[in-house]
Amino acid sequence: MKVIKELKNIYINMHDMRIEMCFKKLEKEGKLRRFDDDFYANFEGMLYNMTPIDYYIKRMSMGRCYDASVVLGLAFGKRDDVFICRGNLKNAGKSIDGTKDFGHGWVENNGFVYDTTWKIIVSKKDYNNMSKLIVKLLNDKKTDQNVIDNNI
């Protein structure tokens, strides 16, 4: 059982490394911004279910991306340009426990995606390209920087 857990951790770390390579490329080009103190300051004093919204998004969103996206979407206020989104990465294989496709939640506002799992802000176009690339990386198991450079 310990070996299986260690293999799952290796898989998770490789997955995170590939995603981080995508983020660093976009960040270097000025196309990606990470949630930072200035971002969280926008929600200072706001509560969701008796929990400060900035704390909820910072600490409680991994594995609860849709819930965190709903909270973030509500924090943006009632506006016609804010969309709380949910989808599945159908071609990404199975989740770590092997039971289902990867489900995910995010917020869209003015052509940008706010991803509460990865704590990033990126254009919708770049987010969609990055999502396709992540699926590709998961399927062919390559961490080659050239694959990333040629697909984002």
Over residues 140-152, mean pLDDT: 56
C-alpha span between 27 and 25 (Å, rounded): 5
pTM (predicted TM-score): 0.76
* Predicted local confidence at residue 130, as pLDDT: 79
Residue 21, both tokens: 């390579």
Residue 16, both tokens: 């995170």
* Predicted local confidence at residue 6, as pLDDT: 56
Over residues 15-37, mean pLDDT: 85
* Predicted local confidence at residue 107, as pLDDT: 93
Q: At residue 141, does pLDDT exceed 70?
A: no
Query: How many CA atoms, within 13 angstroms, populate the side-chain half-sphere of residue 61?
Result: 26
Q: At residue 98, does pLDDT exceed 60?
A: no
What is the CA angle 71-47-78, rounded to 5? Answer: 50
* Predicted local confidence at residue 127, as pLDDT: 87
Report yes or no: 51 and 71 within 8 Å, Cβ to Cβ: no
Confidence of residue 11 (pLDDT cuts 50, 70, 90): very low
pLDDT tens for 58-96 read 887 667 888 889 899 989 887 788 999 888 755 454 454
What is the CA angle 97-84-126, rounded to 5? Answer: 80
What is the dihedral sign for C-alpha 67, 72, 73, 77?
Answer: positive
Report yes or no: 83 and 108 within 8 Å, Cβ to Cβ: yes
C-alpha span between 40 and 86 (Å, rounded): 22
Average per-residue pLDDT for the chain: 76
